[in-house]
Amino acid sequence: MKLLKIFVLVLALFVSLPAFAGDISVKYDNGIYHIVLKGEKIKKKIKFITSEELITNKEAHIKANAKLTVNAGFFDPKNSQTISYVVTDRMTSADPIFNKNLLANPFFRKNMNKVLNRSEFRILQCGNKFQYEISPHNAGVEFGCSIVTSAQGGPLIYPELKLEEEGFIVKNDEGEVVRESASVLHKTSRTIIGIKGTDECHILIITDENPMDMYQVRDLCRDLKIDRAMGFDGGSSTSMNYKKSIEVVSLKGDGAGRMLKSFMVVY
């Protein structure tokens, strides 16, 4: 009986500890997966990829033989075309300017500059060093640097929440919200990416068990002392696969479901 009690105690301790795979740590608490990619080497193992046809996060994870895969940019489920820019191996692999549905939409056409300039997460090579960056899509890079891989999403969440500037909400002359995208004002599941210091990338998978609006996400990033954070696609697009041990699939929200266009993979 004593041996059984000891075994149960050890097992409970093991389950409560975060999972580690070299420079990747995964911690689960209160419906939120907090993933930290730490160190210089991991920066070379991150890549944003796209699929010609919509596929699940799990399919992308298996195909890439990745340790970690999460959903990335926005897309149009009606024509499988992107609404977000993606750069893979220094080449643009997804360009929303070629999405005919986007160009035909009166709102997007009127707000094209805001939509095309939404925040994106970048990995830059500057000489022999790699670094993270979250910037508006149209922002240039420092002299001597180049974008290795990137994915656009939005909005910028921290240190400043930019809902209007990136076209996620529209207000009338009285200051009332008349249009909302990506349920930014409502509680839903989320995929969030951020930077802390110079060598930490933080990913928050906010599941159906603890849905949040963007103001709550902003406060969470502040509490975690993340320096800069932005959103990827959320709602029912929120997805994560870690090795063969953890899978997150959201069933709620206003996303396009589990069939996705772009992904962040970590080898």
pLDDT tens, the chain, 267 aa long: 433 333 333 333 334 445 655 699 999 999 999 999 999 999 999 999 999 999 999 999 999 999 999 999 999 999 999 999 999 999 999 999 999 999 899 988 999 999 999 999 999 999 999 999 999 999 999 999 999 999 999 999 999 999 999 999 999 999 999 999 999 999 999 999 999 999 999 999 999 999 999 999 999 999 999 999 999 999 999 999 999 999 999 987 655 668 999 999 999
The Cα–Cα gap between 69 and 242 comes to 7
pTM score of the predicted model: 0.91
The Cα–Cα gap between 29 and 16 comes to 9
Residue pair 151/121 in contact (Cβ under 8 Å)? The answer is yes
Task: Label each residue of the chain as H, E or C.
Answer: CHHHHHHHHHHHHHHHCCEEECCEEEEEECCEEEEEEECCHHHHHEEEEEEEEEEEHHHHHHHHCCCEEEECCCEECCCCEECCCEEECCEEEECHHHCHHHHHCHHHHHCHHHHHCCEEEEEEEECCEEEEEEEECCCCCCCCEEEEEEEECCCEEECCCCCCCCCCEEECCCCCEEEECCCCCCCECEEEEEEECCCEEEEEEECCCCCECHHHHHHHHHHCCCCEEEECCCHHHCEEEECCCEEEECCCCCCCCCEEEEEEEEC
The Cα–Cα gap between 133 and 95 comes to 20
